[in-house]
């Protein structure tokens, strides 16, 4: 059986109340008494039940995290940022995934709420029209979005929804402008399903912005499932025909770009000699492949850190103690945009038979 606080008190020769005071307010007992209690805790292997204590206090000091997947290291990096910031602020983290299924978002959030989390950090398919977010707002449960970018308030959303992301549209526009600057004129976007990611849609708008600003005709986006590209017959024929194929692919995420590079090699094409490939995310593995994947770099760990700290502000502002305090509002949910960068890499180059403009 797990050792109890009563056993710790008996071994240390103090009362249960004294042990409790030390655990809850370390400075409330003398150094000599604290040393005896800590020795007893170490000898018995006692672990305080902070969950029970926090629930009695009206909070769990636990936050929930919902991400589409952990197979994409973007979300793993974000989760690391959340975890490190939570540890620094004495919070715990519970997480679950939706596997890019919008219908699973509500179930994922309900699971976390069943464990009495104080708030939720989440990435959803569509932040502008989302029943799960509407529910969280009705229940007054603090939440912060990551990667979802809200440039305007969704209809009926009062107050605005808190989010942390890069400017997906501007970042994609910068990436495509880079390709145009190298001399590419036939640039096509390769994307995950738009209905599973509002980020992909915003990146597509950025692609359109860059193409139209350069007076170029946009090509239809190629939507594929998840992060793997199946070289369908139509795709193979397009790539095999020099008159039809693009000279560059702009991919909505790095895993898709890496998958495209593999598929292109299987079709006998060289990257970047025959076709350039640009990604989006800046995942570390992209810098380890040959050629190095050129990409838009998101500060994913920083996104997680800022999201956790933003959520804790919301939680503590809405705590019973804060509600009783006669102070002006100190927290308002707002979208936060973090800077992006371009990682140059060998996967992009001047197209064959052309020179940089």
Q: How confident is the model at residue 22 (pLDDT cuts 50, 70, 90)?
A: confident
Q: Is 78 helix (H, G, I), strand (E, B) or coil?
A: helix
Q: Is 152 left (phi over 0), alpha (psi -120 to 50) or beta?
A: beta
Distances (CA, A) of 160 to 92, 128, 153: 26, 11, 6
Sheet holding 187-192, edge to edge: 222-224, 187-192, 248-251, 276-281, 294-297, 341-343
**Can you give the pLDDT at residue 267?**
85
Residue 136 β-bridge partners: none
- Three-state SS annotation for 52-75: HHHHHCCCCCEEEEEECCCCCHHH
Residue 144 β-bridge partners: 121
**Burial classification of residue 211, based on how many CB atoms lie within 10 Å of its CB (0-12 exposed, 13-18 middle, 19 or more buried):** buried
The length of the chain is: 357
**Can you give the pLDDT at residue 71?**
87
Q: How confident is the model at residue 34 (pLDDT cuts 50, 70, 90)?
A: very high
As a whole number of angstroms, the longest Cα–Cα distance in the chain is 86
**Can you give the pLDDT at residue 200?**
93
Is the model more confident about 72 or about 353?
A: 72
Q: How confident is the model at residue 356 (pLDDT cuts 50, 70, 90)?
A: very low
Checking if the pLDDT of 69 tops 80, the result is yes
pTM of the full predicted structure?
Answer: 0.79
Look up tokens 């594929």; give the residue. 224
Q: How many beta carbons lie within 10 A of that of residue 24, not counting itself?
A: 12
Cα 277 from Cα 267, distance rounded (Å): 15
Is the model more confident about 19 or about 306?
A: 306
**Can you give the pLDDT at residue 49?**
62
Is the model more confident about 331 or about 252?
A: 252
Q: What is the mean pLDDT of residues 225-239?
A: 65
Checking if the pLDDT of 79 tops 90, the result is yes
pLDDT digit string, tens, across residues 96-128: 999 888 888 988 998 888 888 999 999 999 888
Q: What percent of the chain has pLDDT over 90?
A: 57
Checking if the pLDDT of 139 tops 90, the result is no
**Can you give the pLDDT at residue 357?**
43
Q: How confident is the model at residue 233 (pLDDT cuts 50, 70, 90)?
A: low
- Whether 251 contacts 327, CB under 8 Å: no
The least confident of 9-18, 62-71, 306-315, 328-337 is 328-337
Q: What is the mean pLDDT of residues 154-166?
A: 71
Cα 246 from Cα 38, distance rounded (Å): 68
Indicate the average pLDDT of the chain.
86
Residues 6+ apart with CB under 8 A from 73: 283, 284, 285
Which among 149, 153, 151 has a CA at the least distance from the CA of 168? 149
Query: Per-residue b/e over 73-87, b at no fewer than 16 CB within 10 Å?
Result: bbbbbbbebbbebbe
**Can you give the pLDDT at residue 23?**
81
* Residue 270: both structure tokens together: 């060289």
pLDDT digit string, tens, across residues 238-254: 777 777 789 999 999 99
Q: How confident is the model at residue 28 (pLDDT cuts 50, 70, 90)?
A: confident
Q: Is 281 left (phi over 0), alpha (psi -120 to 50) or beta?
A: left
Look up tokens 């800046």; give the residue. 282
Give how far the C-alpha of residue 342 lies from the chain's centroid of Cα atoms, to the nearest Å.
19
Strands 119-122 and 294-297, by their bridges, are unpaired
Q: What is the mean pLDDT of residues 20-45?
A: 87
Cα 341 from Cα 298, distance rounded (Å): 7
């Amino acid at each position: 059986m797990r050792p109890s606080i009563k056993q710790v008190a008996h071994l240390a020769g103090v009362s249960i109340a004294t042990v409790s005071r030390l655990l809850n307010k370390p400075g409330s007992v003398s150094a000599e008494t604290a040393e005896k209690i800590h020795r007893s805790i170490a000898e018995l292997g006692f672990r305080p039940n902070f969950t029970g204590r926090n629930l009695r206090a009206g909070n769990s000091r636990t936050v929930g995290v919902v991400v589409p997947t952990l197979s994409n290291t973007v979300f793993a990096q974000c989760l690391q940022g959340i975890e490190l910031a939570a540890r620094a602020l004495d919070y715990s983290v519970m997480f679950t995934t939706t596997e890019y299924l919008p219908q699973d978002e509500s179930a994922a959030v309900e699971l976390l709420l069943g464990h009495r989390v104080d708030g939720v950090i989440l990435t959803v398919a569509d932040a502008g029209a989302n029943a799960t977010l509407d529910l969280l707002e009705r229940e007054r449960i603090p939440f912060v979005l990551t990667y979802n970018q809200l440039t305007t308030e969704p209809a009926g959303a009062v107050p605005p929804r808190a989010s942390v992301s890069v400017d997906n549209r501007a970042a994609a526009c910068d990436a495509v402008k880079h390709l145009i600057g190298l001399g590419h004129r036939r640039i096509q976007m390769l994307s995950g399903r738009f209905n599973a990611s509002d980020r992909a849609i915003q990146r597509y708008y950025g692609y359109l912005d860059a193409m139209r600003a350069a007076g170029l005709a946009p090509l239809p986006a190629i939507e594929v499932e998840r992060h793997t590209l199946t070289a369908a017959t139509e795709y193979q024929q397009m790539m095999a025909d020099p008159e039809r194929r693009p000279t560059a692919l702009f991919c909505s995420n790095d895993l898709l770009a890496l998958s495209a590079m593999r598929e292109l090699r299987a079709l006998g094409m060289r990257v970047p000699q025959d076709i350039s490939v640009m990604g989006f995310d800046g995942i570390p593995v992209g810098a380890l492949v040959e050629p190095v994947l050129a990409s838009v770099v998101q500060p994913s760990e920083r996104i997680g850190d800022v999201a956790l700290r933003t959520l804790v502000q919301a939680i503590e502002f809405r705590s019973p103690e804060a509600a009783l305090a006669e102070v002006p509002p100190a927290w308002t949910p707002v979208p936060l945009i973090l800077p992006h960068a371009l990682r140059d890499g060998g996967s992009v180059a001047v197209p064959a038979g052309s020179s940089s403009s």
